[in-house]
Amino acid sequence: MLLLGLLYSFAHIDRINLGLARVAGMGEALHLTEGHRYSIVSFVFSIGSILVQIPTGVLLRRVGAPSLLAFCTVSWGIVQLCMAFVSTWGYLLLCRLLLGVLEGPFLPSFVFITSTWYTRYELQKRIAGFAVISLLAAGFSPILAYGLSLLNGRGGLAGWSWIFLVEGLITVALGLLSWFFIPDVPERNAFLTKEQTRLVLKRVAEDRGDSVADEVTLLSVLGHLKDWVLWVHGVMFFCSTVPQTALSFFMTIILSGMGWSKEKALLLSAPPYVLALFSSMLFAWLSDKCRLRAPFIAAQVFITITGLVTTAYSPSHSWRYAGIFLIASGTAGCSPGVLAYSSNNVISHSKRAASVALVVGFGGAGSIFATTTFREQDSPRYVPGLWATVGCQLLLLALLLLTSVHYYRVNRIVRHGGPPVEGQQGFRYTL
């Protein structure tokens, strides 16, 4: 799982490098400041990602995680390399679309694979740990980008081109190595004995009764999409990804707008991710220990809202920077919490594949929403975008209350002798 986290961290770096490269000179070189070009280049990535969510669940079972994810990693590394040599914003747009298609399978694959290895109340720590590795990468990325930008002019390349070139080469190398080490689902693993595999499947079966995979086909996945709760989980994840995406793409730009130089804006982008790292793991540990999801998701939403309002309206640059710390801390653990909440409350591999695909697909839509509401004409404070993000957080709280009440009522009916949840004796929804 550590390798998956490392690969995803490079996927995260590849995504946030757009904002870093823009500050490092790409914006002027490719005329991204004209009209809505930067927003379009930002959100086209998510369109590509959304398109591959449903097929990912089926491909994962057919070809296996090692082959699928290794191919995607090498391919997106090559696309990243191509971005170093684009000469117009149109070519950059095409590369970003391809990047979305190739990175899209990664998050749903990780959540699906992890949920087949661990019990429900071991899950959020793993998802949060996955996110933490990405946060470490996100914190390190501005520093690396700053160092690479100093190579401006070397080899006839601009500083922003060096950012894409070096990180693309690293991604390709990791992808080539990853095929040998990426884990598959338990029944197809190649590193445990039969007895050890049996014990893993037994633990999962005792927890939720779906350790033995049912057939995952396109029809079975689409059939599960009739469940309204899956769609609500999707909208919740949409709301949780909006501030996360906004932070990734626009934090460096907001800091630059506060009057700091390009170099300081890049370096000041790193510290908020350090606090986010500890916040994410703390909430994940508490959530798993208490076997509750909703209260801890709600707490992080309130932290995010406080940070958004502070960043939007504080007259002091120091307080606005503190608001960015709060946004990073609140949103870092919120998305893993929603993913664990949705994954904990589904049974069967086919329904899990449908749930993960739908939820992560909505996350891509959330990224589109974020990149289009933070408009160039609202720079550098982006107040309308910050308020749109606050609205998403309030919607998340409302949907969290709705699902919690629904799950509580169903659990109470089962306790009083009602039919078991989806025919699975002993299963209870996680609140």
For 254-274, give the DSSP string: HHHHTT--HHHHHHHTSHHHH
Residue 325 has pLDDT above 60, yes or no: yes
Which of 155-169, 364-378, 383-397, 399-413 bottoms out in mean pLDDT, i.e. has the lowest? Answer: 364-378
For residue 376, the model assigns a pLDDT of 66
For residue 338, the model assigns a pLDDT of 94
Q: Which residues of 210-238 are buried (b: 16+ CB within 10 A; e: fewer)?
A: bbebeebeeebbeebbebebbebbbbbbb
Q: How far apart are CA 7 and CA 19, in angstroms?
A: 20
- 390, 305 contact by CB (below 8 A): yes
Q: What integer is the mean pLDDT of 132-146? A: 75
| Rg, Å, the chain Cα set | 21
Say what percent of the chain tops pLDDT 90: 26
Q: Is 190 a domain residue?
A: no
For residue 411, the model assigns a pLDDT of 92
Q: Is 199 a domain residue?
A: no
Q: How far apart are CA 270 and CA 228, in angstroms?
A: 39
Range of 293's domain?
2-184+210-420
Work out how many domains the chain is built from and give that number: 1
Residue 286 has pLDDT above 90, yes or no: yes
For residue 213, the model assigns a pLDDT of 62
Residue scoring higher pLDDT (200 or 4): 200
For residue 362, the model assigns a pLDDT of 92
For helices 2-21 and 228-257, what crossing angle results, to 10°?
50
Q: How far apart are CA 236 and CA 406, in angstroms?
A: 15
Q: Is 251 a domain residue?
A: yes
Q: What integer is the mean pLDDT of 347-358? A: 82
Identify the DSSP state of 326. H
Residue 93 has pLDDT above 60, yes or no: yes
Q: What integer is the mean pLDDT of 65-85? A: 90
Quickly count: other Cβ atoms within 10 Å of residue 80's Cβ. 28
H/E run at residue 195: helix 194-208
Residue scoring higher pLDDT (306 or 109): 306
- 17, 165 contact by CB (below 8 A): no
How far is residue 84 from each of residues 43, 165, 294, measured CA to CA in Å?
A: 19, 5, 43
Residue 294 has pLDDT above 90, yes or no: yes
How far is residue 56 from each of residues 49, 134, 198, 267, 337, measured CA to CA in Å?
A: 10, 21, 27, 36, 22
- 205, 211 contact by CB (below 8 A): yes
- Model confidence at 297, pLDDT cuts 50, 70, 90, reads very high
Q: pLDDT tens across 183-222, in order? A: 888 887 777 888 888 888 888 777 766 555 666 677 777 7
Closest CA to 145 of 248, 63, 258: 248
Q: Is 148 a domain residue?
A: yes
How far is residue 118 from each of residues 62, 126, 186, 200, 335, measured CA to CA in Å?
A: 22, 9, 10, 8, 19
Q: How far apart are CA 215 and CA 315, in angstroms?
A: 57
For residue 128, the model assigns a pLDDT of 84
Q: Is 431 a domain residue?
A: no
- Model confidence at 101, pLDDT cuts 50, 70, 90, reads very high
How far is residue 18 from each of residues 24, 36, 85, 389, measured CA to CA in Å?
A: 10, 15, 14, 21
- Model confidence at 138, pLDDT cuts 50, 70, 90, reads low
Q: What integer is the mean pLDDT of 303-328? A: 88
Residue 143 has pLDDT above 90, yes or no: no
Greatest mean pLDDT range, 219-223, 386-390, 406-410, 414-418: 406-410
| Residue 259 neighbours by CB under 8 Å, 6+ apart | 317
Which CATH number do you get for residue 133? 1.20.1250.20
Q: What integer is the mean pLDDT of 160-182? A: 88
- Model confidence at 47, pLDDT cuts 50, 70, 90, reads confident
Q: Is 197 a domain residue?
A: no
Q: Is 347 a domain residue?
A: yes
Q: How far apart are CA 289 and CA 120, in angstroms?
A: 11
For residue 106, the model assigns a pLDDT of 84
Q: Is 192 a domain residue?
A: no
- Model confidence at 75, pLDDT cuts 50, 70, 90, reads very high
Q: What integer is the mean pLDDT of 301-309? A: 94
Residue 77 has pLDDT above 80, yes or no: yes
Residue with tokens 């703390």: 282
Instruction: Share the mean pLDDT of the chain.
Output: 84
Instruction: Report the predicted TM-score, pTM, of the whole model to 2 decimal places.
Output: 0.80
Q: What integer is the mean pLDDT of 286-292? A: 92
Q: How far apart are CA 75 and CA 171, in angstroms?
A: 9
Q: How far apart are CA 213 and CA 101, in angstroms?
A: 27
Q: pLDDT tens across 231-281, in order? A: 999 999 999 999 988 887 677 777 777 777 777 777 787 788 888 888 998
For residue 220, the model assigns a pLDDT of 74
Residue 19 has pLDDT above 80, yes or no: no
Quickly count: other Cβ atoms within 10 Å of residue 192's Cβ. 13
Q: What integer is the mean pLDDT of 79-104? A: 91
- 235, 359 contact by CB (below 8 A): no
| Residue 15 neighbours by CB under 8 Å, 6+ apart | 45, 99, 103, 248
Quickly count: other Cβ atoms within 10 Å of residue 249's Cβ. 25
Residue scoring higher pLDDT (207 or 79): 79
Residue scoring higher pLDDT (236 or 69): 236
